[in-house]
A and B are shown apart, each in its own frame.
Chain A
Amino acid sequence: MAGATSEAGPSVIEQSVGGPTWRQRMAPRIAQSKRTWYFLRRNTLAMAGLVILLLIAGTAIYALTTNLSYTQMTLVCATNGDAANCLASPQTVCTYSPGVTPPGPGCYETPAGFPSVIAPTWGGVLSQPGPLPLGSLTVNPGVQYFYNTYDGLLRGADWSLLISISIVAAGATIGLFLGAISGYMGGVVDEGLMRLVDIFLSIPQLLFVIVVVTVLITLLPSTGAAFADHIYLLIAGFLVTWWPFYARIVRGQVLVVREQKYVEAARASGAGRGRIIARHIVPNSVYPVFIQMSLDVGTIPIIIGTIVFLGIRIFPSTYLPEWGTIAALSVTGLSSFWNSCQVSTCVIPWWQLLFPGLALFLFAISVNFLADGLRDALDPRLRR
């Protein structure tokens, strides 16, 4: 972990008349940001992580601007001739009749009469990617409906980012607040808060999220709850388990910072407790929090995927197009697919595992690279 990062630089001498400009006041921080950016730029892995993250963020912004109300994954349809069953579906990607019309490209027939999977179909030119450029996502084998992986990944990026960023931001705010108070006050307050943190941290995080989310779900009416309520519920469930990590990190950092000379100077010149915490201690203790935040942004979709994989239905009738959820669905669909398929007619739907998994993996690993680079750049002891 990052230890002391108290590179605040020389303190700016306060000007009595008119006050210093913003640029003058922020000079040490701007200098430090420049220094951090310099070291970050030289770290290849961190830059790769940053580039991937920017691409993902771009996708998310594109998704946000094109379709705000994309709350359900797009269904596509495959039929063995009787299109009547698939009328509700917006798009029929593959039609065939057993023994009469052979299945179309990428469409695999099974003894059950339904195609089990549909492979990625490319139109030959990049601008026309075909109906299912990343293949189908089979959730229930033997059903004519499939999820469109491409659509889900492309237009679900914003949900992943929004949910994880809001959880992490809220958790970090709570943790920063409590950690700063705990570290600065010391004594009974510190002892009490830190025992509370110990209690929360001794429950395995994943189980804690599961328990809180299952309990919260029972509080919602079984039908008719607003879509946003389910999202708030998810965020609340994560928040309960998330703040202690930040509180502990911040507290450790504050313990170091509060002994620094500039805090003493501020106290000597008559600054109040609130001002010292807000203006001197918190700004100098946030760097480890940034690192932890960037790591957690990548972890949250993984945990959401895990709870969806374990069978928690956050939404009663739909699946949120969110990367963790899509990856989990690809896997649950696959395991039932293994169970149901007969080996001789089996197609191994590699696309179903690869693309959602790759999206989730790239997101998490780019965030990891970036966090690692940040840690190196912010902590002078680790600089190579």
Chain B
Amino acid sequence: MRMWTYVIRRLLLIIPIIVGVMTITFVLVSALPLTERFTSYLGQPPRGESYNPTLAPGEGTCPANATSPCPNPYYHYALNKLGLNQGVWVQWGIWMYNSLTFHWGVAGNASNVVLADYPAAKGQPVTTVLGWFLPYTLELAALSLAIIMAIGIPLGNLAAVYRNRPVDQASRVMSFSGFALPTFLLGSLVLAGFLIAFGAPNGFHSYLCSGQSTYSDFTGSWPPAYCYANPDATNFGYPSWLTAGYISHPTGFPTVDALIHGQFWLAAETILRIILPALIIAYGTVAILLRFVRNSMLEVMNLDFVRTARSKGVPERQVVRRHAGRNSLNVTITVLGLTFAAFVGGFPVIEYLFQLKGVGQLLAYSIIYPVDFGLIFGTTLLFTFLVVGANLIVDLLYAFLDPRVRLG
């Protein structure tokens, strides 16, 4: 019973956060020039119309013999639509309504490089476009999280058990360098290393296409198009469920779709391509997790129940695993909750660097001039929702695992 009260209270706490985040975006959007706001949230004006406040004589509905510029009716329509001719509170109300009903603006008004691959995306609602890209990001996130947990927990336990021995020292070096190495630098170093290792003349034959490997062999969500076009490189062309720009059907998740269509090579290829980026994303977060797991393990190893277990003759292996190690799950959940925002924030860089399709890449290309503000704010809201959702899940899991939280 108490669990349910806790869940409901925790859910209610989300409301002020969502309202607050949307208010922050409202403040930021209000600072933009009017034209930017119109094009981002209403799309390009229809043919023959413009967002100029006034029409010159002879332009549009303005008679040619007018002595002064006429007011532009479409401009006033746009003002009215966003509530900009009314008070701030009305504007805020309209903004909140639109945000909560997922009217996040129109994508692809600026010449966006990513959207060049998706002619259909031009003029689409931001949420639709985000929906196309989100599955790629989620797959990458899932793989990174799996790697973080697979490395962080065992290594942290090892570092605690073999304290101040080489394992511990190595993990300490790893955690320090994880803080200090920027993602873009580490990613580029790894990519450069791969190219040096596998791109050397006559050394490596790319697993994709015959010949020397290039930058694009190690990057991209899907094999580069020229691999498909090259007849002696592969025996497959574009599968029909990969539409132009490589949006997959029916679920949108590339690996899942490849498996559904029975094309295991493509599923494997997809995972191969995100392993490297996932490892790099994991590196920074593993650094923090390692430290926390190690420290909590050290604390637990000195507690009475562990001593009791040892003294009654339980083998050391089992003491570490069963008695002390149980605790590291709690720590992992806490750390993942604390670092999820930073974890998600790393996606634009890594997706941009590895040319992976995803929401992060969308953001990275939207901020290059000319700026696509609809997509920028849409992406930020989406990532914020991911963080809020992740924190909710973390808190609920924590309450489920540790009764003190919900009862205390």
Nearest residue, chain A, Cβ from B203: A343
Taking CB atoms, residues of chain B closer than 8 Å to A198 are 16-17, 20
- B371 near A203 with CB under 8 A, answer no
Nearest residue, chain B, Cβ from A302: B182
Nearest residue, chain B, Cβ from A372: B176
Nearest residue, chain B, Cβ from A209: B345
Q: Is B342 positioned at the interface, with any CB of A under 8 Å from its CB?
A: yes
- A311 near B380 with CB under 8 A, answer no
Taking CB atoms, residues of chain B closer than 8 Å to A212 are 28
- Interface residue from B181, B349, B376, B388 paired with A211 (Cβ < 8 Å): B376
The interface bits of chain A over 293-306 (1 if a CB of B lies within 8 angstroms of the residue's CB, else 0) are 00100100010011
Count of chain A residues near B, Cβ 8 A: 51
Given A214-B376, A310-B352, A202:B21 Cβ within 8 A: yes
Nearest residue, chain A, Cβ from B341: A204
Taking CB atoms, residues of chain A closer than 8 Å to B380 are 203-204, 207-208, 211
Count of chain B residues near A, Cβ 8 A: 58
Q: Is A353 positioned at the interface, with any CB of B under 8 Å from its CB?
A: yes
Taking CB atoms, residues of chain B closer than 8 Å to A306 are 182-184, 349
- B180 near A364 with CB under 8 A, answer yes
Taking CB atoms, residues of chain B closer than 8 Å to A211 are 25, 28, 376-377, 380
Taking CB atoms, residues of chain B closer than 8 Å to A331 are 184-185, 188
Q: List 11 A-B contacts (CB under 8 A).
A: A198-B16, A199-B16, A202-B21, A204-B342, A204-B380, A215-B29, A309-B184, A327-B184, A327-B185, A364-B179, A365-B176
Chain B 9-55 interface residues, beta-carbon cutoff 8 Å to A: 16-17, 20-21, 24-25, 28-29, 31-33, 36
- B363 near A335 with CB under 8 A, answer no
- A202 near B28 with CB under 8 A, answer no
- A195 near B20 with CB under 8 A, answer yes
Q: Is A223 positioned at the interface, with any CB of B under 8 Å from its CB?
A: no
Taking CB atoms, residues of chain B closer than 8 Å to A138 are none
- A361 near B180 with CB under 8 A, answer yes
Closest CB in chain B relative to A269 CB, distance in Å: 35
- A202 near B17 with CB under 8 A, answer yes
- Interface residue from A199, A311, A361 paired with B185 (Cβ < 8 Å): A361
Q: Is B364 positioned at the interface, with any CB of A under 8 Å from its CB?
A: yes
Given A205-B345, A207-B348, A306-B184, A218:B33 Cβ within 8 A: yes
- A203 near B31 with CB under 8 A, answer no
Chain B 383-398 interface residues, beta-carbon cutoff 8 Å to A: 383-384, 387-388, 391
- A343 near B214 with CB under 8 A, answer yes
Given A205-B342, A357-B185, A368-B179, A310:B369 Cβ within 8 A: no
Nearest residue, chain A, Cβ from B215: A338
Q: Is A165 positioned at the interface, with any CB of B under 8 Å from its CB?
A: no
The interface bits of chain A over 8-48 (1 if a CB of B lies within 8 angstroms of the residue's CB, else 0) are 00000000000000000000000000000000000000000
- A203 near B182 with CB under 8 A, answer no
Given A306-B182, A335-B215, A353-B188, A214:B21 Cβ within 8 A: no
Nearest residue, chain A, Cβ from B381: A203
The interface bits of chain B over 176-214 (1 if a CB of A lies within 8 angstroms of the residue's CB, else 0) are 110111111100110110011001010000000000101
Q: Is A210 positioned at the interface, with any CB of B under 8 Å from its CB?
A: yes
Q: Is B346 positioned at the interface, with any CB of A under 8 Å from its CB?
A: yes
- A313 near B176 with CB under 8 A, answer no
- A327 near B17 with CB under 8 A, answer no
Chain B, interface SS category: helix
Q: Is A233 positioned at the interface, with any CB of B under 8 Å from its CB?
A: no
Taking CB atoms, residues of chain A closer than 8 Å to B196 are 348
Nearest residue, chain A, Cβ from B27: A215
Q: Is A61 positioned at the interface, with any CB of B under 8 Å from its CB?
A: no
Q: Is B379 positioned at the interface, with any CB of A under 8 Å from its CB?
A: yes
Closest CB in chain A relative to B322 CB, distance in Å: 27
Q: Is A360 positioned at the interface, with any CB of B under 8 Å from its CB?
A: yes
Interface residues of A (CB under 8 A from B): 195-196, 198-208, 210-212, 214-216, 218-219, 295, 298, 302, 305-306, 309-313, 324, 327-328, 331, 334-335, 338-339, 343-344, 348, 353, 357, 360-361, 364-365, 368-369, 372
Report the separation of the CA atoms of residues A34 and B15 in the bound assembly, to the nearest whole angstrom. Answer: 48
Given A195-B16, A196-B20, A204:B349 Cβ within 8 A: no
Given contacts A205-B341, A311-B368, 18 further A-B contacts (CB under 8 A): A199-B24, A202-B384, A204-B383, A207-B348, A207-B363, A207-B380, A215-B32, A218-B33, A302-B180, A305-B184, A310-B367, A334-B188, A339-B215, A353-B189, A353-B192, A360-B182, A364-B180, A364-B181
Interface residues of B (CB under 8 A from A): 16-17, 20-21, 24-25, 28-29, 31-33, 36, 176-177, 179-185, 188-189, 191-192, 195-196, 199, 201, 212, 214-216, 341-342, 344-346, 348-349, 352-353, 363-364, 367-369, 371, 373, 376-377, 379-380, 383-384, 387-388, 391
- Interface residue from A214, A327, A368 paired with B371 (Cβ < 8 Å): A214
- B189 near A357 with CB under 8 A, answer yes
Report the separation of the CA atoms of residues A338 and B192 in the bound assembly, to the nearest whole angstrom. Answer: 9
Residue among A205, A215, A313 having the largest count of chain B Cβ atoms under 10 Å = A215
Taking CB atoms, residues of chain A closer than 8 Å to B195 are 338, 348
Report the separation of the CA atoms of residues A331 and B192 in the bound assembly, to the nearest whole angstrom. Answer: 10
Residue among A204, A216, A306 having the largest count of chain B Cβ atoms under 10 Å = A204
Report the separation of the CA atoms of residues A206 and B343 in the bound assembly, to the nearest whole angstrom. Answer: 10
Nearest residue, chain B, Cβ from A310: B364
Report the separation of the CA atoms of residues A201 and B388 in the bound assembly, to the nearest whole angstrom. Answer: 10
Taking CB atoms, residues of chain A closer than 8 Å to B183 are 306
Taking CB atoms, residues of chain B closer than 8 Å to A199 are 16-17, 20-21, 24
- B28 near A201 with CB under 8 A, answer no
Closest CB in chain B relative to A200 CB, distance in Å: 8
Report the separation of the CA atoms of residues A253 and B373 in the bound assembly, to the nearest whole angstrom. Answer: 39
- A305 near B182 with CB under 8 A, answer yes
- A343 near B201 with CB under 8 A, answer yes
Closest CB in chain A relative to B389 CB, distance in Å: 10
Report the separation of the CA atoms of residues A335 and B162 in the bound assembly, to the nearest whole angstrom. Answer: 41
Given A211-B380, A365-B177, A368-B176, A202:B341 Cβ within 8 A: yes
Report the separation of the CA atoms of residues A311 and B371 in the bound assembly, to the nearest whole angstrom. Answer: 11
Closest CB in chain B relative to A20 CB, distance in Å: 41
Closest CB in chain B relative to A314 CB, distance in Å: 12
- B179 near A204 with CB under 8 A, answer no
Taking CB atoms, residues of chain A closer than 8 Å to B369 are 313
Nearest residue, chain A, Cβ from B386: A204
